[in-house]
Each structure stands twice: as structure tokens, then as C-alpha cells.
Amino acid sequence: MTAVARAFRDLRSSESGLGSAEAARRLAAHGPNELVRSRRAPWPREILDQVVHPLALLLWAAAGLAALSGTPVLALAIAAVVVLNAVVAFAQERQAERAVDALRGYLPAQATVRRDGRVRAIAARDLVPGDVLLLTEGERVSADARLVSGEVEVDMSALTGEAAPVTRAADREDGHTSPLEAQERVFSGTLCTAGEAVAVVRATGMRTELGRIAALSQRGRREMSPLEREVKRAAWIIALVAVAMGAAFLGLGWLAAGLPADDALRFAIGLLVANVPEGLLPTITLALAVCVRTLSRRGALVKRLSAVETLGAATVICTDKTGTLTLNRMRPVAAWTLAGPAGLDGPPPAAPGLTASRLGAAIAACANADLGSPGGATGDPTEVAMLEAAAALGAGVDPVAREARRRRLFHFHPARRMMATVDEDAAGRLRVTAKGAPEALLARATRIADAEDAERPLGAAERAAVSAQVEGLAARGLRVLAVADRPLGAGEAAPSAADAAERDLCLIGLVAMHDPPRPAVPDAVARCRRAGIAIVVVTGDNGVTAAAIAREVGIVRDAPRVVAGPELSAMDDAALSALLRQPDGLIFARAEPEAKLRIAEHLRAHGAVVAMTGDGVNDAPALRHADIGVAMGRSGTDVAREAATMILTDDDFATVVAAIEEGRRVYANVRRFILYIFAHAPPEVLPFLAFALSGGAIPLPLTVMQLLAIDLGTETVPALALGRERAERDVMDRPPRARTARLVDRALLRRAWGGMGIVSAALVMAGFVAELLAAGWSPGDPTGDGAPLHEAYLRATTMTFLGIVACQIGTAMASRVEDGARTRPPLRSNRLLVWGIILEVVLAIALVGLPPLQPLFGTAVPSAGSLAMLAAFPPLVYAADALRRRRLPRPAPGAAAPTAVP
């Protein structure tokens, strides 16, 4: 029984197709031929999830307590922050669905089949296994099928990443190891670029290769980014501190100090609200949004704000080759014949030799590309490069004239590793022309053209000379093709089979081509090495080509470890884990969708933060499940762009590295303004504690409205400005931070609360007490409305407010300098901070000096002596932090080494 007969038997079908009744039964059993989304929680549930995570709950609690304490404006502002954050997060969770929608675009609306013995057009969604499908040039394949007659050329780049179309024929079953390499099969979503064939459908819907990719793209939910996890952790820290302080105040004020229960509860709520940095979430969001805008100007579109920070934590980049490391444009650089080598990347020779002219004419005949189309050159990049070589050798490359002379075309096939044409020359004689892999043509050649274009036997010496040239060119990372021809005898008809045509050939010469790396890639690779970031090449291309490019751009230096698709498939998890412990310089070739996904998940399971680049439909699962999916904006498919977190508008690997630098910068800046914001908790909390511990003998030094003005007013603009700090010069000379590194760690809390915070609190309380003492106040004296000291009390609370503002200037300047640093960045490098401080001072002056605002915020202009005292607060805070930094060990110099997975 033939292979085709077995296929019909297994699918219980025949050449006349299925009957309508049987097709209906199979449609009910197998379901429609379409991609389906996995079940998701109802959208109200997803929105609810976004408003009940720890930070949101903490902010809801703060809003409720603010409302209870008589500050509805603060309550509404906090609630608005939570709602806005929930809407943005909900929108991001819908990315997977959009990716599946984009995949659906690869399925045609209609298909041509045989049913009931007749040819008819049906809706593609009604295809079922066993249908006989008719394929023609220009149509998309509607389902996975086995060819039963005919031959087609198929563009499978969406599934495999290979740019060149491949030939599929009914009679080419060849014991393949992978379904996608099967020479007799076609797959859903691919495009027929030439030929006609009949096929029997094997799989439909989610059972197809395209459906498998859709299923992988939807597997699991998006995990939180490192920043999101750390903000969640910070929320718990803040909540615990706030609740503990509020409870302590309630106990001290009510039980120890003897305050009325209502007053103790009200001030406990105020203290709790004071401990919650309401501006933290909007400050982080705005800082990340600014970085997203900066990256967009540099060629990277980021679809999720937190992804910017995740990029900064990247320890491994899994990159494709073509189009990312290279320009994806083959260029001819050299030709070789027995007459000697000839350069092709300069001006064409005035009079090429006879053999070179013959080489150019043969290349021009054996081609399918077009150099002169209105939109530029069209066709496979290798074909275009070969035609450019022909033009450089003086041959005519007009596609109309070429087609007029052509009598037969034998498409390139991986098994033959060559293509051939039969053409009629000017004298009316037929000539076979072939081009392909040098070893393939050498095996079929018996003669070689010498320097005078005469033919002589291809002996051992000539074969050795050709092989030496091929090896020398390949060692330079060049792709080499051989070109040969032979005339047909008088009256001999054009061969009808490739094997009959591709025999007894005369080797004319070799052409070497180069897909040059992008100019910025070598420097970007070097920066990755200094930054301790490992680079893994994961490509659908040939391993030898990938290794040559990797060596040229500096990813590998010696013989790299190349793992082909079948070898990777045979590896168990333990072997793959062992291989990935030192991932830098690894090359995975002919990688399938599951392979890319498996590599990313193994790296992530061992603590690596993975950035994965890709452009094809087959890359979508890995792009979605990596920490950062990076899709190509120019050459990438819609599916890849929807599944990815970041899109490169220039398709350049160097842009990924620039984005990592930006991510490291934003992480450092987030720590800066968290330090800045946390440093203001002690001066906001200490006034409440002084009031409680003194049993009211010391009046409350800060009102709730003044607290609101600080948390959502004067504090915000300098915090945003800290988010615009430039990256340190050595930011890419440091190893990446560990996946378990804490955004809010003990060192930051010690510096914020135990350092700048305590100094600021002491200065603020000193200013408050000094203003009261200057007015003749003694502990316990009444300061309420109508009391003689009430005006002095207003000036004193204003001093507390202004003191905190003054200390904010000092903490802002100190927060710019990292721990252990001996120098500070020049102030002119962040002019936004200067303007932020100016705006902060102007706002404080307005709240204190404008009569309409004074009753609302309970402020009054302090005495001149007190105002003069404020000028010392910023330098004192900065100096205290500088002294603490000097006691810290200086960071060790030196470049980082590429990361090894633990």
C-alpha cells in the first residue's frame, strides 16, 4: 500500500472526498476549524482582583481612615489612584486574548474542497479531518494536511522562522524527525507561494500546529514583575508599621497620657494616614511612564509600565539571529573562479573575464527574485544577493527577459540542496543552470570552467582547490553558493525531473554572501558582557550560520556549543538544566516553539530574569512567558507583537541593551524616590508621638491638612524629578541584581528612617518648639482657638510644615547619591529637580502666605528668626547622610562577568 493510500485509509476518506453527511458528523465530533480562547474569569472578577491586592487594600484603608478623620479630599485622591491602577492592570491582562485574535488572522475565510465527488468552496471553519483540500498559488492553507498529489512551494516563516519558501510534494515522505520538516505535509496558516496540489486534511482547529502555538500562548497567567512583587512587599511593610504606630498611639494617648477616647482615636487615625505614603504609587507610575516615553524615542515601545524595571533586572537575553543581530539583507562580497577571486562589493569591473561573465549569466538565469520592482528588490534575501552578484559581473537581470527564456524550473529542495532551470540561449539552444550548496554541486559536477572559460575534467586537484576556497570563505562567516551549468544536446528536450537535469554539470564558480551585523550590535554585546548579562542565541536558522554571526558580533569567541532542535528535544530536564548553568554563548538552532518556551522556563526556574526576542508566530508562546518578550516591529508578525511586552521599532539588538540600561536607571531612581518618600515618615510621625506621649501638654505640631499638603503636594514634584536622574557612568559595568533582591531592604530603611528621617524629625520638632517658646509658651498652656497663644500655635505648626519642606530639599539632594559613592552627580544633570525644588518652595510659600489658604491649612507666617532657622535644615540633613555614607565600604571596581544560572 502506498503512503497516500495509507493516509486515506487512516483518515477514512478517499480521493473523491467526504460525503456531506459524514462531514457534518465529523464537524460535530471535532468542532469548528478555528482557534479558541481558553476560559478566563469574568471581567468583573478580574477587575476585583486588581483592587484587592495588598497595596490597593492598604490604600483603601487609608482612604477610609482619611474620610473618618475629616479629610474627604485626601480620601477621594487615594481612591482615584487605586481605580486608575486597576484599570491599567486589567487592560494588560487582556494581552493573551489579543494574541489569539491575531493568530486567527492567519486562517482564511474559505477553503476549496472535494465533497460528494464535486469541487466546492466552503467556510474554512467547516473543514474536518478527511476533507480533500485543493491548494493553489497565493492561498493560505486552512488546516494541517498531507499532500496526495502535486507540488507546492510554501512560505512557512510564520511557524519556523525560515525566510526562504520550502517545497512540499506528495511523493517526498522521507522519515522526518519533526512534523514541521515533513516534506509531504502543509500546515494551517502557511502561504502557498507557487504550484498546485491536492491534500487530505489531518488536523483542524486547536489540534493543528497553529492551534498548538495558540494554546501555548494562553497557558498560565502573567506573573508579577519584580517591581510589582516588591511594591506588594513594601505595602505589607508600610501596613504593619502604620497599624503598629496607630495602635501604639491609641494605647499611649488613651491609657498612658489620659486623652479622651475620641481624641485618641482621631489622632491614631491621623498617625496611620501619615505613615501611608499616598504619593508612592502615582510617583512610581509617572516615573515609569516617563521612561516608557524615553524608550519610545529610542526605538522601543513598552506595553506594560512595570516591564521597564524588569528589563533592568535581566540576566539572560535569548535573541534570534536574522533581523535582530543582522540587517536581514544578504550582500554579495566575493566571487571565485579558476581565474581567481573577484570582489563584488565595489564598482563593477569594466571588462569581466570570460569565466566571470559566464558566472554572472548563469546566476541571472537561475533566479526568481527581482531587483527592479517599484517597491525595491523583492524575493528571498539570498536570491536578491545572488542577482546583485550577477549585475556586478555585468549580466542582465531583467525578469521579463529571464521568464521569456525559461523552459523549466526546479525549485530549491532541502534534500537536493540546490535549484535548477532550463533556459534557451540567444542561439536557440537549451542550457541547464544550477546553483546550491557547494558540496551538492560538486557531487553532481564532472567538469570545471577554467580561466579561459574552456571546460576541463574536474579532477581531485580541482576539487581540493574548490573545497579549500569554500572552507576559507565559510570561516569568514560567509554563506557560499556554487553555480554550474551544462548545454543540452541538439534536439534534446528539456528534462522533466530535477535529477535528470542536475547531472554531468560544469562547475563555473562560487559566490560568497554576507548578512552583515547591525553596526551597533558588537558594542551592545560588549556592554552586555560588562554588565554580567548572558546572551543565548535561539533561532530557527541553521546552526553554522548562527555560530558565524555570533562569533562576528562577539557573542562567542571560540568554537561555540551549538544545540540543534533534535538534540534539544532528546534532552531531559536535568541535562538541559546542566547545560543552562553557563548559558552565555550557547546557540540553539532550528528551535521549535516548545523549545524556546522550554529554554525560557528553565532559565527562569533557576532564578534568571529572561528577555526573549522573536518575530514569528512560532515565537509567541516564549514571548508571552518570558519575563520580557521583545518583538520585532518591522519584520515581526502581529501575533508576536501582541504577545510581547516590548516592541522594537528598529528591530535592533542594540535597542534591547539600551532598554536594559534604561531599566537599571529607573530601578535606581525608584529606590531614590522611595528613600526620599520614606525619609519623611519620621518627621510626620514624631509630632503625633510627642503630642500623645506628653498627654497633650505639647500641642499637636502638624494638622491633617498640612499633612495632605506634604504627601500629595510638596513631596510629589521632587520625587518625580528623582525619577529623571541620569544613569551612573558605570551602570552597565555592574552585575545584574538578583531576582530575590529587595527594592525596600534594611539598608534603605536604615538610611531613610534611622538616618535622614531622625535628623529631619529632630530639626522639625526643634523649629516647632522654638516658635512656641519665643511666644512665651510653657508645656500644658492652652493653644486652641481663642486662646492667647493660638496665633503663636499657628505659626509653630507652620514651622513644622515648612521644616518638613526644608528637610525634603536636603533629602532630595542626598537621595541622588548612592550608598558608598564618594562623589555626587552635578546638579545641572537634573534640572528638573531644581525646578521641582523651586516649585515646592513656591507652593509652600503660597500655602503659608496667601490669606485665602491660611484658614484651610491652618497656617500663619512665622517670625523672621524662625524663617532664618529653616535655611540650615537642608545642609544639615545632607551633611548627616554624607557622614553616614563615608563610613560605608567603597564598592569594588571592575567589570561584571556574564551571569551563570545558580
Place 677 in a pLDDT band, splitting at 50, 70 and 90.
confident
Q: Which amino acid is at 626?
A: A
* Alpha-carbon 139 to chain mean position: 32
Place of cell 516563516: 157
CB-based contact 368:383 (threshold 8 Å): yes
Place 99 in a pLDDT band, splitting at 50, 70 and 90.
very low
Beta strands in 48-138 (DSSP E): 110-115, 118-123, 132-136
Q: Percentage of the chain with pLDDT > 70?
A: 81
The answer to whether residue 663 scores a pLDDT higher than 60 is: yes
Mean pLDDT of 534-561: 81
783: burial class by Cβ within 10 Å (0-12, 13-18, 19+)? buried
What pLDDT does residue 195 have?
83
What pLDDT does residue 92 have?
46
pLDDT per residue over 161-170, tens digit each? 565 677 788 8
The answer to whether residue 362 scores a pLDDT higher than 90 is: yes
* Residues pairing with 885 in the sheet: none
The answer to whether residue 207 scores a pLDDT higher than 60 is: yes
Place 95 in a pLDDT band, splitting at 50, 70 and 90.
very low
**Catalytic status, residue 651:** no
50-64, 311-325, 481-495, 646-660: which range is least confident on average? Answer: 50-64
Mean pLDDT of 538-542: 72
Q: Which of 320, 485, 651, 652 is catalytic?
A: 320
How far apart are the C-alpha atoms of 199 and 466, rounded to whole Å?
42
Residue scoring higher pLDDT (528 or 739)? 528
CB-based contact 108:142 (threshold 8 Å): yes
Could you give the count of Cα atoms lying within 13 Å of 354 in the half-sphere of its Cβ? 7
pLDDT per residue over 397-445, tens digit each? 998 899 999 999 887 766 677 899 999 988 889 999 999 989 889 999 9
The answer to whether residue 334 scores a pLDDT higher than 60 is: yes
| Contacts (Cβ under 8 Å, ≥6 apart) of 497 | none
What pLDDT does residue 762 have?
94
- Listing DSSP states for 461-524 in one string gives HHHHHHHHHHHHHHHTT-EEEEEEEEEPPTTPPPPSSHHHHSSSEEEEEEEEEE-PBPTTHHHH
Closest CA to 353 of 341, 364, 365: 341
* Residues pairing with 149 in the sheet: 198
Contacts 24+ apart (CB under 8 A), 406-410: 406/365, 407/494, 408/494, 408/495, 408/496, 408/501, 409/368, 410/498, 410/501, 410/502
CB-based contact 900:830 (threshold 8 Å): no
Helix (H, G, I), strand (E, B) or coil at 67: helix
Helices (H), 141-297: 157-160, 209-218, 226-250, 261-275, 280-297
CA dihedral for 762, 766, 768, 769, sign (positive or negative)? positive
pLDDT per residue over 21-71, tens digit each? 999 999 999 999 887 765 555 667 666 766 776 666 767 877 777 677 666
The answer to whether residue 216 scores a pLDDT higher than 70 is: no
Q: Which amino acid is at 308?
A: V
pLDDT per residue over 379-396, tens digit each? 777 888 999 999 989 888
What pLDDT does residue 221 have?
56
How far apart are the C-alpha atoms of 641 and 325, rounded to whole Å?
18
Tell me how crowded residue 502 is: count the other CB atoms within 10 A of its CB: 24
Closest CA to 366 of 344, 333, 390: 390
Closest CA to 85 of 231, 237, 274: 231
The answer to whether residue 104 scores a pLDDT higher than 60 is: no
pLDDT per residue over 720-737, tens digit each? 788 778 877 778 888 888
How far apart are the C-alpha atoms of 402 and 347, rounded to whole Å?
24
132: cell is 480533500
What pLDDT does residue 91 have?
58
The answer to whether residue 615 scores a pLDDT higher than 50 is: yes
First and final C-alpha spacing in the chain: 54
Q: Which amino acid is at 133?
A: L
SS3 content of the chain, % helix, strand, coil (to 5): 50, 15, 35
192-201, 250-259, 395-404, 592-601: which range is least confident on average? Answer: 250-259
488-502, 526-540, 720-734, 816-830: which range is least confident on average? Answer: 816-830
Mean pLDDT of 175-193: 79
- Listing DSSP states for 297-354 in one string gives HTTEEESSTHHHHHHHT--EEEE-STTTTB-S--EEEEEEETTEEEE-SSSPPSS--H
Place 850 in a pLDDT band, splitting at 50, 70 and 90.
very high
Residue scoring higher pLDDT (847 or 596)? 847
Closest CA to 108 of 83, 136, 82, 130: 136
| Contacts (Cβ under 8 Å, ≥6 apart) of 881 | 751, 755, 756, 759, 810, 811, 814, 817
What pLDDT does residue 874 have?
95
| Contacts (Cβ under 8 Å, ≥6 apart) of 824 | 813, 816, 817
How far apart are the C-alpha atoms of 500 and 497, rounded to whole Å?
5
How far apart are the C-alpha atoms of 518 and 541, rounded to whole Å?
18
* Whether this model's pTM surpasses 0.85: no
Mean pLDDT of 84-98: 55
301: burial class by Cβ within 10 Å (0-12, 13-18, 19+)? middle
The answer to whether residue 346 scores a pLDDT higher than 70 is: no
The 10 Å CB-count burial string (b at 16+, else e) for 173-207 is: beeeeeebbbbbbbbbbbbbbbbebbbbbbbbbbb
Closest CA to 361 of 333, 340, 392: 392
Place of cell 534594611: 746
Place of cell 501596613: 239
101-110, 262-271, 282-291: which range is least confident on average? Answer: 101-110
Place 133 in a pLDDT band, splitting at 50, 70 and 90.
very high
How far apart are the C-alpha atoms of 582 and 571, rounded to whole Å?
16
pLDDT per residue over 689-708, tens digit each? 787 777 778 888 887 678 77
Tell me how crowded residue 153 is: count the other CB atoms within 10 A of its CB: 20
Place 797 in a pLDDT band, splitting at 50, 70 and 90.
very high
Question: In the predicted model, what is the mean pLDDT of the chain?
Answer: 81
97: cell is 486574548
Q: Percentage of the chain with pLDDT > 90?
A: 25
